[in-house]
Structures are given as C-alpha cells and as structure tokens.
Amino acid sequence: MPLIELKVPDIGDFDSVEVIELLVSAGDQIKPEQSLLTVESDKASMEIPSSAAGRVVELKVGLGDKVAQGSVIALVETADATADQSSAAANAVPATAAVIAPVIAPVISQGSSVPPDAHGPSAPATEPSPAAVADANSAGPESAVRVPPVQADPGEVASPANLPHASPSVRKFARELGVELTRLVGSGPKQRITADDVRAHVKLAMAGAAIKPAGKSSGGAEGAGLGLLPWPKIDFAKFGPVETRPLSRIRKLSAANLHRNWVMIPHVTNHDEADVTALEAFRTEINAEQAVAGVKFTMLAFVIKACVHALQKMPDFNASLEGDSLVYKHYWHIGFAADTPNGLVVPVIRDADRKTVSQIAQETATLALAAREGKLAPAQMQGGTFTISSLGGIGGTGFTPIINAPEVAILGLSRTAMRPVWNGTSFEARLLLPLSLSYDHRVIDGAAAARFNAHLARLLLDFRRVLL
Ligand code: CAO
C-alpha cells in the first residue's frame, strides 16, 4: 500500500501555529476533507482537513507542537495508487487551499475583544472550589484543565465579544446534539470548549431529566429540570435601593459545581470531636522552637497527615465512584479549601503520605498564598483524592461541607474550643476540635463514616499513633 505524507497546506497568514486538538489517531481510517487537527494562533483556531483517504499509520505532530505550511501531519497508507506521489504530490495539491478554504474557518477571535473576566487574570479554569475539582483523573495536555462545563446564566446572550471558544468540529458536534455552547464554560486552555465538555453537559442534562419526578413538567430551565417551582423573580428595587454586580468567574464555576454535587450526591455529615489538647500543646511548643526557622506548624497540617493515615486504613474514602465500580487510588493527594477574594479554590497537596508535617505546613501556606493572589497553576488544583475544608481560624461549631466530586468524602474543621469533659471521676478542661465529615452515602455507610471520624479523633488525641 502506498504511503503518503499529509502536510499542512497554505493556511494564509499563519506561519507558526500551535496544535491544540488532535482529531485522528494512528490506525484511524480517514476520508478526504476529514479534519485531522485543530491549530490555533493568537487570533483564531482552525481545523486542517485531509487531502486524501486512507489509514493513518503515524501521527507526526503532537498537542502543543508548532506547525506551519509544509509541516508533516501524518503518514497515511492509501489504497489509491495515484496518490502515491509521496510527500511531494500530497503537499503540492494545488486544490488544497481551495478544498480547505470552506473548511478552515476562523473560529473565534481571542484577542482583546474577550472580556477580561472570561479568562480571568491567572486564575485557572480548574477546580476552583471544593466542588469544582471534578474530573481530576484526566491527564495529558488536552485535558490539563478539567472543569466540567458550567451552565452560564440562561438569559446570557452570546455577543461577538463572548462567543464561546470551540473548534469547528466541537461546534458541529454541539449542533448535532442541540447543545448551546454559550451555556458552557470550556475546560480546555483559555476556556476552550472540548468535545468532552459537550458530552459531560449532555450527561448532566440527562441525569437532570432522569431525576425529574414523573408527571411533572418543569418547562425547561425553570426548576433546573427537577420539577421544582421556578426561581422567584422579584423586583428588589421596589423595596429599596439595590446594586447588581456580576459574579466572578471563580464564583460562577464553583456555584455550578457545588450545585451539581449537592444535587447529585446523597450527602450525609457525621459530626465528632477530637481532643487536641496534647497536640495543641505540642504544636505550640514546636512552633516556639521553630520560630527562628520561620516554620509554622498549623493544625491543618497535622490533620492532613492524620487524614492520610485514616484514608489508608479506610480506602473507600480515597476512592471515586465510576458507574458500578469504585476506583481506588493508591496515592493520597489532599485538597484543602482556600478562601480567596474571588471565591473558593482547592489547592492540592500531592503525595501527602510522603511528606512530613513541616513540609505539609509550608506547602499549604505557599499554596494558600498563591490562591489568594490568583496565581495557582491548574496542576496545583488537580488530582485530589480527599478534601479538607478548615474554618477553624474563623469560627463555627460544625457545618456540612459539600463533597468535591469525584471524591466521596470531605472533612470540615471548625473552631477548637476548651470544654469540660467528664473523665469518669471529674470534669477536665480539654481542647476539642469539631470534625464534620460529609460522605457520599452511595459509597460509604454511616457506620464507616463514624469509624473514620473516631479513628481520626484517636490519631489527633495521640499523634504518635500516626507513626504506627
Ligand atoms: N480552631 C481554632 N483556631 C484555629 C483553628 C481551629 N481549628 N485552625 C486554625 N486556627 C487559627 C490558627 O491558630 C491561627 O491563629 P494565629 O494566627 O493566632 O496563629 C489562625 O487560625 C490561622 O490559622 P492558620 O495560619 O493555621 O491557617 P489555617 O491552616 O487555619 O487556614 C486556610 C489556612 C487556607 C485553610 C484558610 O486560610 C482558609 O482559607 N480557610 C477557609 C476555608 C473555607 O472557606 N472553607 C469553606 C469551604 S465550604 O466547604
């Protein structure tokens, strides 16, 4: 079978453009004009179609590569003997530009016309809230940024300035499924909407439809497909002066993800208290010793370390539900909710099992600072297996944290308080740390959650147990 090289044709003014999407793989049968890949300049993205039919033997470009006219895209085995003119012929097809012209269509300008909020300063479009750390298992450049699509305000109309950013094939795919791209926030670089985003959106819509009570018609967006009453529309100005401010991008993303997780996960929260009297005394002592070195041992760092121990003992809490299976992760990446001026984000301490409390304390401080400055990289918010939300420094006696899908549990920490505790003969003043463990009841039973909290409390009562 003849082999030909498919090359990038004349693509006009673009002399070095980045490959942002591979639309075929080695082994695929392709047809003439079938899109092979999407490239993107700082102005537009476009798809490069094939000029021949055949089987892709080898892809010569990868995601992130820069290509220009004449760059070899793929080696293709073709049955057509006349096509066996090798690279020269495949390259020199004069019709290339003409064939491609209708196919290559600039998708969307990404220049200055995009509103700043659409991209955010450096705030990544990933996992910005406990609930937004979804799909953290995805890997690879194409999925380096994984946020499930977020429904924009249904009333939001796409203006030229906020046209959604997606390649032509994704647009076509969305059109076929009847998905309005303006309702999604993409998970790709620069919030580009990917085919996976469209699929996830459809799945969500289907799940919403599936849980709609029989016999009820919600009339679409009203009641979010749950058969609920429409959201009340009130003219607040009738009652006093008002001011309307748009939600930040992070808040919009986290709101959509929190909502999904709250609706789709049957949450139950187990509350317990850990006696941290000895631990706090130790922490104070060690902090005084380490003050010169500038290391601050935080309660959160100790709790992260203890949680790893508990997660290793009870691996269900470090798993994810996928269809009828549980995926057990043999790594312990612990996310922690960080409050920032723009909303919640969840940086992740990777391999917390291999780090000392001191390293964890320093890393949480560095990550929390980066979060507040909007400087967290997407990778720093990915791959979490369990999340801790600590409100201890602020207050409260307990709360119900929302699980950060696809994780199955999240631990909330509230403010420690000195309380009288009966020791069998008398009351003792003990420092108690409230633990609020929300768990996905599809995966975890109430007894297991109570055991997890009890085990954690034992570890925090006597931290030497973490070494066992
Ligand atoms: N009880 C009482 N005091 C506590 C405490 C607790 N459980 N945990 C921390 N503190 C105190 C600390 O002692 C410290 O006091 P000093 O400054 O006097 O030493 C202060 O609170 C700040 O604590 P810290 O430096 O140890 O920081 P932290 O580890 O508590 O918090 C971070 C870091 C990033 C978790 C926090 O800044 C934050 O953003 N919390 C909000 C998280 C949130 O919003 N969660 C809700 C999400 S919805 O589910």
**Which numbered atom of ligand 1 lies nearest the CA of 416?**
1
Q: What pTM value is reported for the model?
A: 0.61
Which residues does residue 7 pair with via DSSP β-bridges, in sequence order? 72
Q: 393 in ligand 1 pocket by Cβ < 6 Å?
A: yes
Which residues does residue 47 pair with via DSSP β-bridges, in sequence order? 38
Residue nearest to atom 23 of ligand 1 (CA): 393
Could you confirm whether 333 is annotated as catalytic?
no
Q: Mean of the pLDDT values across residues 161-179?
A: 76
Q: 415 in ligand 1 pocket by Cβ < 6 Å?
A: yes
Q: 339 in ligand 1 pocket by Cβ < 6 Å?
A: yes
Query: CA 181, CA 149: separation in Å to the nearest integer?
Result: 10
Give the closest residue to 335 by CA, choosing from 371, 402, 385.
385
Q: For 145-166, what is each residue's pLDDT tens digit?
A: 223 333 333 333 344 445 677 8
Query: CA 82, CA 88: separation in Å to the nearest integer?
Result: 13
Instruction: For the beta carbon of residue 121, count every other beta carbon within 10 angstroms.
Output: 11
Instruction: Look at residue 133 and tell me whether its pLDDT is greater than 70.
Output: no
In order, the DSSP letters of 39-60 are EE-SS-EEEEE-SS-EEEEEE-
Q: 387 in ligand 1 pocket by Cβ < 6 Å?
A: no
Q: For 59-76, what is each residue's pLDDT tens digit?
A: 999 988 899 888 999 999
| CA 234 / ligand 1 centre spacing (Å) | 37
Q: For 392-443, what is each residue's pLDDT tens digit?
A: 999 999 999 999 999 999 999 999 999 999 999 999 999 999 999 999 999 9
Mutate-to-test residue for ligand 1 from 300, 345, 404, highest number of ligand atoms within 8 A of CB: 300
